[in-house]
Amino acid sequence: MRAILKYYKNKDYNNFEELLSDLREARDKFNNLNSSTNIIVDTRAILNTTQLKFVIEQYSVFSKEAIHMLLDAMIRNHDWPELFKELQNNIDEEKGQETKGIPHLEIMRRGYEKDLNILTDEVKINLITKSFINKMRKIFNNNDNAYSAGALLAFEGVAIQEFHIIDKIVKEYDQQNKNLKVQENNTLTNYYINGHKDFEIGHEEHLANSIKPYVTKNNMKKIVTGYLDVCFVISLWWEQMYLESEQVRFSEENQLQDAEEFNVESVIFKK
Ligand SMILES: [Fe+2]
Ligand SMILES: [Fe+2]
């Protein structure tokens, strides 16, 4: 990851179009941002239901926080009115403008509860997720418009792949729990996930158009920095989730109270 960051941060960009295509190229080099190479997708068959549930739960925390990140960015970017308007559209969509007034998150909550028996309001937020959310909130609270515009571009740029990733993880979880129903097409969970694969189409392009009027030779580097920071922070979180899920499994198999409890004598040598 360091080599990708270094290369694209140091590169010279001549115009916005070139910058956009280079940023997409950079994004595609992060394995965890792609639904075929993401670390959890890649290992999902050897993860158990506890681990998959852990990842779905932690991801739901991010889904809930995302609208707050958009709001922060919108308020801080009020002096780029085109961008402000575009963010407002996205937030209206999240509030249910195209889903009969039902906010997307309510569809997720009810779907996960009905179809997966996962109560997202009772999820214990893991430390790695807390740290991830803090970093993201900091990114979207930046007072440099160009920096947060870049961050927003990345946010929208990874969204479709993220829903493909979640889809694969949820389907694996569903398959391992033979009594669940997500494989059927008419569940709320399917509506939520598949819906987003479509809703998100066009978001990235609209956002790019709303940023374009404000891009200058001087602020392009800031856009790149915001963009790469988001790619890096999300990628890192996926890696951490993988490792943490190993800890969660270990704790469960050894009937430990929580992840902090670890006693070599009783765990390793008891057998
Ligand atoms: Fe949404
Ligand atoms: Fe979006």
Which ligand sits closest to the CA of 90? 2
Whose CA is closest to 223, among 19, 10, 5?
A: 19
In eight-state DSSP terms, residue 31 is: G
Start-to-end Cα distance in the chain: 40
261 CA to centre of ligand 2 in angstroms? 39
196 CA to centre of ligand 1 in angstroms? 6
In eight-state DSSP terms, residue 202 is: T
Assess whether pLDDT exceeds 80 at residue 265. no
204 CA to centre of ligand 1 in angstroms? 14
Amino acid 201: pLDDT: 84
Ion ligand 2: protein residues whose beta carbon lies under 5 Å:
156, 159, 200, 203
Assess whether pLDDT exceeds 80 at residue 233. yes
116 CA to centre of ligand 1 in angstroms? 19
177 CA to centre of ligand 2 in angstroms? 30
Helix 16-27 with 203-211: angle, nearest 10 deg: 140
With tokens 């080599």, the residue in question is: 3
With tokens 């198999």, the residue in question is: 253
Written as one letter, the residue type at 116 is L
- Distance between CA 163 and CA 54 in Å, rounded? 17
Ion ligand 1: protein residues whose beta carbon lies under 5 Å:
94, 104
Which ligand sits closest to the CA of 86? 2
The structural domains of the chain, ordered by start, are: 2-267 (1.20.910.10)
Residues 4-54 have pLDDT tens digits of: 999 999 999 999 999 999 999 999 999 999 999 999 999 999 999 999 999
Amino acid 271: pLDDT: 54
70 CA to centre of ligand 2 in angstroms? 10
Which tokens belong to 210? 């709303």
Amino acid 63: pLDDT: 97
- Distance between CA 156 and CA 100 in Å, rounded? 23
What's the whole-number mean pLDDT along residues 172-185? Answer: 80
Which ligand sits closest to the CA of 166? 1
Q: What is the CA radius of gyration of the chain?
A: 20
Mean pLDDT of the chain: 93
269 CA to centre of ligand 2 in angstroms? 50
Which tokens belong to 184? 């059927």
Asked if 223 contacts 146 with a C-beta cutoff of 8 angstroms, the reply is: yes
Which tokens belong to 13? 């960009």
3 CA to centre of ligand 2 in angstroms? 28
